[in-house]
Amino acid sequence: MKSIRELYKIGRGPSSSHTMGPAKAAEIYASRHPVAGELSPVAGELSQVAGGVSQAAGGMQPVGSFEVTLYGSLAATGKGHLTDVAITDVLGKIAPVEIVWKPQVFLPFHPNAMKFACKPASGAEQAAAVQTAGAAQAASGESGAAQAASGESGAAQAASGESGTAQAASGESGAAQTEAGEPTATAATPSALFDEWTVYSIGGGALSEGPGGDGIATATPDLYDLNTITDIMKWCKSHGKGYWEYVAECEDEGIWDYLMEMWEAMKACVENGLENEGALPGPLHLSRKAATYYIKAKGYKPNLQSRGLVFAYALAASEENASGGTIVTAPTCGSCGVLPAVLYHMSKNHEFSDKKILHALATAGLFGNVVKHNASISGADVGCQGEVGVACAMASAATCQLFGGTPAQVEYAAEMGLEHHLGMTCDPVCGLVQIPCIERNAFAAARALDADIYATFSDGFHRVSFDQVVEAMKQTGHDLPSLYKETSAGGLAKGRFVE
Ligand code: SF4
């Protein structure tokens, strides 16, 4: 398994798979197509004319525009999840972006697929781009003179008649073609896409290039030797240690600083959500509820207050996510309210120290990581059981550990947190991460506290292991029709609602 750093990430909502993942993919693609100005400090202003330049194909092919095709779930709920905005915000700085929506097409590897491609610049733009790059290189003194002498690029190309301005003048391509209005099917004409890159947003902001990928999106090492909770629990037993100590054993020493950063971000997210009021963005005009729940809960006696506060904290983080605020994936954006709510409650109302909270965060991350490695944390792949169900399992494990649970009891708590979400569908209304997502986070946070109590009352022995539930979740998710996996085509998303 990879680092739990891959699981916990600070980002902006509303969706890790539909917003953060596509934004990250766009950044990777953008890095392969710098604006012409970035090739050299002196050419910056000319990037306006030249657009981007593709370096990926081994050459310096000018980019006229980008075309990004969204498939399956990414296309079905991409508008509500702001997928197009996330991509355009990145690539639009280089060249115009066209989004192609294909909600009916599901690529075999994962339902969240996207294909990035470049469209060639027009002849005039190509000429400008090549001239720009050539002039810039010459001015930089690094290779300009030599290139000019060799006739490989820039001014030398112009002189040689191979490309750029020379093409325009020659009438073979470039500006001359544009003026004539009859471009021919050569590499310089805006007819064919090039540098196509298919990548999948597999949940929690993570990317995969699928089988045969070149590893650009996934090049991080595996840090954990043991990939199942069964094996890790055996390790705990034989070493007399807890789950968080296995995390410490596998990660580098910077992990505690990293988890502290995540914890600070989680607290800030809850506190911002308790403070902010008003309607959430989008056509549902849904009002934020966290602040009201918080005030009301404060007025109740302790036994009811406790539950009301947990609801308020979960609503706060989830409403921040729904409004595009800063959150921590745990394991995803859509499920980002569960674990912070429970940990915030443990910190504020049960006075657990930051050190204890970080240990709980490590254990929660380990359980989430096992699911991510062996099954999926993507609603588009396995439904909401993989998002809110997994978040509940993580929060159950964290709480049980904080209250002194043994490794067997912690495993039992996590197992129930996930088992009792098996089969849960993903059917967000209007494609927004609001209904049922926000309330679902609140209920899952409360359920995590119940799972802890239930497991703590036991001796930890039970018939179905966490790993078996993970396997069942994966199979159940794959058996679910795509209607119920983040396409907004079935379930609640098809209903009519009270205005
Ligand atoms: S229903 Fe669950 S999986 Fe689907 S978008 Fe909402 S939180 Fe994510």
Domain spans, the chain = 14-195, 224-494
Q: What is the pTM assigned to this prediction?
A: 0.82
Q: Does the beta carbon of 388 sit less than 6 angstroms from any atom of ligand 1?
A: yes
> Closest residue (by CA) to atom 6 of ligand 1?
437
In ligand 1, which atom is closest to the CA atom of 81? 5
Q: Does the beta carbon of 138 sit less than 6 angstroms from any atom of ligand 1?
A: no
Q: Does the beta carbon of 491 sit less than 6 angstroms from any atom of ligand 1?
A: no
Q: Does the beta carbon of 334 sit less than 6 angstroms from any atom of ligand 1?
A: yes
CA 147 to centroid of ligand 1, rounded, Å: 55
**Cα four-point dihedral sign 467, 470, 472, 474:** negative
Closest CA to 245 of 385, 477, 255: 255
> Closest residue (by CA) to atom 2 of ligand 1?
384
> Closest residue (by CA) to atom 8 of ligand 1?
334
CA 86 to centroid of ligand 1, rounded, Å: 19
| pLDDT tens-digit series, residues 278-306 | 999 999 999 999 999 999 999 999 889 99
Where do we find the tokens 């849904």? 286
Non-local (6+) Cβ contacts of 336 within 8 A are 13, 269, 317, 318, 321, 327, 328, 329, 330, 391, 441
CA 334 to centroid of ligand 1, rounded, Å: 5
Which pLDDT does position 64 carry in this prediction?
Answer: 87
Which pLDDT does position 158 carry in this prediction?
Answer: 35
| pLDDT tens-digit series, residues 54-92 | 555 455 677 889 999 999 999 999 998 999 999 999 999
Better pLDDT: 362 or 132: 362
Q: Does the beta carbon of 437 sit less than 6 angstroms from any atom of ligand 1?
A: yes
